Chains A and B, each alone.
Chain A
Amino acid sequence: MLIHTKNLSLYYQDGQRTIHAVDKLNLNLPERGLYGIIGPSGSGKTSVLYLLAGLRRQTDGEIFYEDAPYPSSIVGLNNLRRKEMGFVFQSHFLIEYLNVLENILVGADDTYAASDERIDYLIQELGISDLVDRNIDQLSGGQRQLVTIARALANNPKVIFVDEPTSSLDHVTGKKVIQLLEKISKQACVVLVTHDETNLVHADHVFSIWDGRVKA
C-alpha cells in the first residue's frame, strides 16, 4: 500500500463538546487508481484529506506512507509532501505575480532543470501551451484549474490530493478536469474529495464519510 491508516482520528474541542472530525478511520490507498472520498458538508471528508496529506496532525491513530509511519517532524512532513505529493485545492491558490509557467514550476522539484521535460509534457498534455506566458488574471476559471493540476503534477508525485476540483467550474470544464484526473490515476494514486457522485463514476473505490467514519 502506498498509504494506509490505522484508527486515524482527529478530535477537537468545541466548548464542552468533543467533535470527532475523523473517527477511527482505516483506509488503504494503493499506488495507482482514483479513490473518491465523498460525503455531505461537515462529514469530515476534507479533514481526512488534510490528515492523509500530512497538512494536519491526527490526535489519535497511525498513518503510514509506503509502510513507514509519517515523519513526526514538520521538516520530515514537508519533505514528504514536497517529493511525493501533489495538491489541487478547491480554490486555485495560484500566485498572482507569477505567470502560468512560473506557477507550474512552484510545484516542481528544486532542481527545475530536471523537471523541464516533464513540465513540457504536462503543458502539452493539459493543452495549456498557449497560456504559459500569461498572467493569472488573464485566465478563465477552467484554465486556472488546469494550471493547478499541472502544478500538482510538476514534481511527478506518487499521490495527488484533490479537493472539490469542479466546484467552481462549468459542467464541460469540470468533466474535462475529472477525465484528466482519471488519466493521471493510471500512473499515480489520486485521492479525490467531492460531494458530487458523478465525479466518481470511474473511481476505483469510493469511501463515503459520515460523521468522520467510513460508511459501510
Chain B
Amino acid sequence: MKPLSFWIYIVRNFSRVLPVVIIFSLSVVAILTTKLMVQSIETDYNRFNDFFKTYATVTIDQSQENLPPQKIVDELNTFNNIDHYLIGSNQSITITALTGDNPYNAPFISKSKSDIFLKDIGWKLVEGRLPQEGKAEIVVTRGALKNKGLKIGDKVGDSVNQYEYLKGEYTVVGVLDGSSVNGALGFIEDEQVRNSSFVTFFLKAKDGQEKKLDNEIAVLKNRYKTQLTVQSYTSVADGTKNQLKALNLIIWWLNLLIAVIMTISIILLILIFMNQRMREFAILDAFGYHRSFLIQKVIKEFSGIAVFSWIGGLLLSQLFAFAVNILIFEPVDISPMTVLEPSVLLFSLPFLAIVLLATMLIVFYKISKMDAISVIEKRN
C-alpha cells in the first residue's frame, strides 16, 4: 500500500479520530431516532385510518332530535357510490400509542350483519367466540388485546378504567385478526340503536368508488353542518397529514439544531487535526507533492471517517430501534421502528453532506493557504 494512501491514515490514527467517529455516529442516532419516532407515530395514525379505508361513517346525535335517522337513510339512498351500509353505534376503544391514548373504532352493529361486517373489514375470529347480541360482550383485535394487556374473560370499559374511551363495562369473549385494522366489535339490537344517543351509518363504497363516496359525504356534511359528524378516509388522512405536518416541522428544527451543533463540534475537531498535521503537509509540499494531491488525500481521509461514522450511526440506530421495539413497542403493539427503509436512510444524508462539505472547505482553505516555510521554520 502506498504510504500516503488515505487508508493508512485512517487505520493508524483511529484512536485519534475516535471522538469524531463517536460524535458523528451519535448525531446520526439522534437524528434517526427522532425520525423513527415520527415514522412510528405515522404508522400508528395510518393503522387508525385503515378502518376508514373500508367504511366511511356518518353519525347523528339523536338526543338533539333535529335530524331523524330516516332522513339520513333517505339521503344515503340517493348516493351513487354506496355498495351497502350498516347501522349501529360507533364506540371507541383506547389504544395507547407514542402520542398517548387514541380512540380506535369499536363498532356495535346488529349480529345479523356480522358476516358482512367481518368480510368487509377482513377480520376473522381466531380465539374465543363472537359476543351475544344484547349482552355486554366484545371481541377485540389481537393488536388491541396486546396493547391493552387483555385476555379473554377480562373486563374492559370506563367502569373498569377511567381512561378508557369505551363506555360501560364489557367482557372480552374473543380475539379478531386478519387485517391491519385495529379495534373492537360488539353487537347491539336494533331497539338499542333506536334508543341510543348516537347512531352511526357505516358506509361501504362500491369497488374503486371510495374517493367519490368521500366526496358525497363531504357534500352531506356541508348540508347538515354540525347536525352530523362524518369520517371518511379522505378526511382522517387529511387530519393525519396536518398533525404530522406540525410534528415534522418540530422534528425538522430539532434535527437542524442537532446537525448544526454536532457539525460545529466536528469542524472544531477537524481544525485541531488539521493544525496538528500542518508540518506533515508542509514537508510534503516541500517534497513537491501538489497541493491538489494533499487536499484530495485529506478529503478522502475525512470522507472515509465520515462515511464510516455514518454507517456506524445507522447500525447503532437500528440496534437502538431493535431494542426499543423488543422491550417497549412490541409488547404493546406499537408500530415497530426500522432504519432499513430508504426514507429513513435518506433522512440522515443531509447531515453527512453538511459535514463533508464543511470538511472539504476547511481542508481546502487550510492547505491552499498554507505557507510551508513558516510551518517548517517553527521547527518544534
Contact = CB atoms under 8 A, between A and B. Distances in A.
Answer yes or no: do A and B interact.
yes
B282 A93 contact: yes
A24 interface: no
A31 interface: no
Give the interface size class of chain A. Answer: 20 to 34
A81 interface: yes
A87 interface: yes
A97 B5 CA distance: 12
Nearest to A98: B3
Given A80-B288, A91-B379, A97 B282 contact: no
A155 B379 CA distance: 24
A78 B9 CA distance: 23
Given A85-B288, A89-B376, A112 B2 contact: yes
A83 B3 contact: no
A160 B346 CA distance: 53
B8 A81 contact: no
Q: Which of A78, A79, A85, A98 has the most chain B CB within a 10 Å cutoff?
A: A78
B372 A55 contact: yes
A52 interface: no
A82 to B, nearest CB: 3
A147 interface: no
B290 interface: yes
A137 to B, nearest CB: 12
A55 B286 contact: yes
Interface in A81-105: 81-83, 85, 87, 89-91, 93, 95-98, 102-103, 105
Contacts of B286: 53, 55, 81, 87, 89
Interface string B266-307: 000000000000011011111111110000000000000000
A90 B380 CA distance: 10
21 contacts: A46-B377, A53-B286, A55-B286, A74-B291, A77-B288, A78-B288, A87-B283, A87-B286, A89-B376, A93-B280, A93-B376, A95-B283, A97-B12, A98-B8, A102-B3, A102-B8, A103-B3, A105-B3, A106-B4, A106-B284, A112-B2
Contacts of A80: 288
Nearest to A53: B286
Closest 7 CB pairs of A and B: A82-B288, A81-B288, A102-B3, A97-B12, A93-B283, A91-B379, A78-B288
Give the interface size class of chain B. Answer: 20 to 34
B8 A97 contact: yes
B13 A82 contact: no
Nearest to B12: A97
B373 interface: yes
Contacts of B376: 89, 91, 93
A75 interface: yes
A83 B280 CA distance: 19
Contacts of B289: 78, 82
Contacts of B379: 89-91
Nearest to A104: B3
Contacts of B282: 93
Interface in B348-380: 372-373, 376-377, 379-380
A166 to B, nearest CB: 15
A44 B285 CA distance: 22
Given A89-B283, A89-B376, A91-B376, 5 more contacts: A75-B290, A89-B286, A93-B282, A97-B8, A102-B3
Given A75-B290, A82-B287, A56 B13 contact: no
A142 interface: no
A39 interface: no
B363 to A, nearest CB: 17
Contact of B288 (A79, A89, A91, A93): A79
Contacts of A65: none
B290 A78 contact: yes
Interface in B290-346: 290-291
Contacts of B284: 106
A69 to B, nearest CB: 18
B288 A55 contact: no
Contacts of B3: 95, 98, 102-103, 105-106
Contacts of A91: 376, 379-380
A64 interface: no
A207 interface: no
Nearest to B376: A89
Interface in A3-36: none
A80 to B, nearest CB: 7
Q: Which of B9, B13, B379, B380 has the most chain A CB within a 10 Å cutoff?
A: B379
Contacts of A96: 280
Contact of A106 (B12, B13, B287, B291): B287
Nearest to B16: A97
B233 to A, nearest CB: 61
Contacts of A79: 288
Nearest to A167: B379
A84 B194 CA distance: 103
A215 B68 CA distance: 119
A103 to B, nearest CB: 7
Nearest to A50: B373
Nearest to A161: B286
